[in-house]
Chain A
Amino acid sequence: DAGVIQSPRHEVTEMGQEVTLRCKPISGHDYLFWYRQTMMRGLELLIYFNNNVPIDDSGMPEDRFSAKMPNASFSTLKIQPSEPRDSAVYFCASSKAARNTEAFFGQGTRLTVV
């Protein structure tokens, strides 16, 4: 398996534009997590899915953020409209069905909003 795949690796966009980040989890993993990493706040859990269903979105910072998982092999994180303070590295991670097992991270998307 190629691991968790995220795209794009880098995204530079202007303030106010819509940004969509994409993630393909490891096949057979039932849990998918979106994290955001910044120098100030570290790694923060934004939202997670179990069997494609959003379970906890309490970490999503604002209504400008939304996430979907239309099927077991694809998820998106959308920011609309984007703001400079959204600049961060966004990681997607997946894990197997059993609770509290290793989370495998993707390479991340470095987002810069200018």
Chain B
Amino acid sequence: GENVEQHPSTLSVQEGDSAVIKCTYSDSASNYFPWYKQELGKRPQLIIDIRSNVGEKKDQRIAVTLNKTAKHFSLHITETQPEDSAVYFCAANRGGADGLTFGKGTHLIIQP
């Protein structure tokens, strides 16, 4: 089955700096890659997603890049703010099937 690896597990950055979280996946048939943000005690919420027919997608301060050949994708957050502090999960659909395989999460800490 699909395996998604996510790094780092914890990331601390100064407010205003950029943050990058990286993920790799194993099943080359996977074609949908969402990113979810989960605040403490809350539900995961989608912040951005990308499909395999594009290499990059941007939404204001958030961008995601996808390298299908290398089977990895990354989340980029620019001009980080205190409200960006949360756990971020990458995911991949399971070889194109329904349902998602999630990475283990990255705890992003924004230092004031």
Interface string of B49-84 (1 = CB under 8 A from A): 101000000000000000000000000000000000
Interface size class of B (residues with CB under 8 A): 20 to 34
Chain A residues with CB under 8 A of B98: 31, 48, 50, 55-56, 99-100
B34 lies within 8 A of A102 (CB)? yes
Q: Which of A56, A102, A108 contacts B99 (CB 8 A)?
A: A56
Contacts A31-B98, A42-B104, A50-B98 known; A91 to B43 CB distance under 8 Å?
yes
**Whole-angstrom distance between the alpha carbons of A113 and B43 in the complex?**
21
Q: Which of B45, B51, B94, B103 contacts A42 (CB 8 A)?
A: B103
Closest to B1 in A: A58
Closest to A108 in B: B43
Interface size on A, residues (CB 8 A): 19
Chain A residues with CB under 8 A of B101: 45
**Whole-angstrom distance between the alpha carbons of A55 and B42 in the complex?**
27
Closest to B33 in A: A100
